[in-house]
């Protein structure tokens, strides 16, 4: 049985994962509008990935005697950016925000003797470390290949490889 306070904290995390999923969808639209189909595909994939995190938490709450629920409004997502580099810097901030909140939740569980949920959350903790590292690698690629209009065709092509790698690893 989950305590009331733990349930509330897990439900707050659900909102954050759902928000991230929406934020990635907005980035997919941005990329589609710029004619960058492989970058758009990367964001559709990332959106699915966040939704799957949300669902894992959602099901965990319901399976352990709680009531999972999403709020009516998840908050406004950012839709306008100057360059692809700005987009990926935004992605890094987005992922880092999730990392901070997962870490806080994990610390809270430990301090409050919620060991089963602490254990459950460790997959998310490692996932976030992985996500931040991958976004950082992409920022390096974007900086090296260039993100001026004339570079965008090749930069987008590069994402075909990135997407294939992420698909092969079964997560992004």
- The binding site for Fe ion (CB under 5 A) comprises 17, 50, 53
To Fe ion, the closest distance from the beta carbon of 98 in angstroms equals 5
To Fe ion, the closest distance from the beta carbon of 70 in angstroms equals 15
Task: Give the contacts of 172 (CB within 8 A, at least 6 positions apart).
Answer: 42, 45, 46, 49, 131, 134, 166
Residue 17 phi/psi, 5° resolution? -65, -40
Task: Give the contacts of 3 (CB within 8 A, at least 6 positions apart).
Answer: 114
To Fe ion, the closest distance from the beta carbon of 9 in angstroms equals 16
Indicate the residue among 19 and 159 with the shorter CB distance to Fe ion.
Answer: 19
To Fe ion, the closest distance from the beta carbon of 54 in angstroms equals 8
Indicate the residue among 20 and 87 with the shorter CB distance to Fe ion.
Answer: 20
Q: Please give the Cα distance from 33 to 17 (Å, whole number).
A: 25
**Which residue has the closest beta carbon to Fe ion?**
53
Helix axis angle for 37-63 and 115-145, nearest 10°, is 170
> What are the Cα distances from residue 60, in Å, to 73, 124, 150?
22, 13, 47
Indicate the residue among 36 and 121 with the shorter CB distance to Fe ion.
Answer: 121
Indicate the residue among 53 and 134 with the shorter CB distance to Fe ion.
Answer: 53
Indicate the residue among 41 and 50 with the shorter CB distance to Fe ion.
Answer: 50
To Fe ion, the closest distance from the beta carbon of 119 in angstroms equals 18
């Amino acid at each position: 049985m989950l305590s009331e306070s733990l349930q509330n904290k897990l439900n707050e995390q659900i909102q954050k994962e759902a928000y991230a999923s929406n934020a990635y969808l907005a980035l997919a639209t941005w990329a589609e509008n710029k004619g960058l189909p492989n970058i758009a595909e990367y964001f559709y994939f990332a959106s699915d990935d966040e939704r799957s995190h949300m669902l894992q938490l959602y099901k965990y709450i319901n399976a352990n005697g709680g009531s999972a629920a999403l709020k009516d409004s998840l908050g406004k997502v950012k839709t306008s950016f100057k360059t692809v580099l700005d987009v990926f810097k935004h992605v890094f901030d987005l992922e880092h925000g999730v990392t901070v909140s997962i870490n806080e939740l994990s610390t809270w569980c430990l301090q409050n003797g919620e060991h089963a949920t602490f254990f459950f959350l460790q997959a998310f903790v490692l996932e976030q470390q992985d996500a931040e590292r991958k976004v950082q690698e992409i920022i390096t690629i974007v900086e090296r290949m260039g993100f001026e209009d004339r570079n965008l065709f090749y930069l987008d092509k590069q994402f075909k490889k990135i997407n294939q790698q992420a698909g092969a690893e079964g997560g992004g």
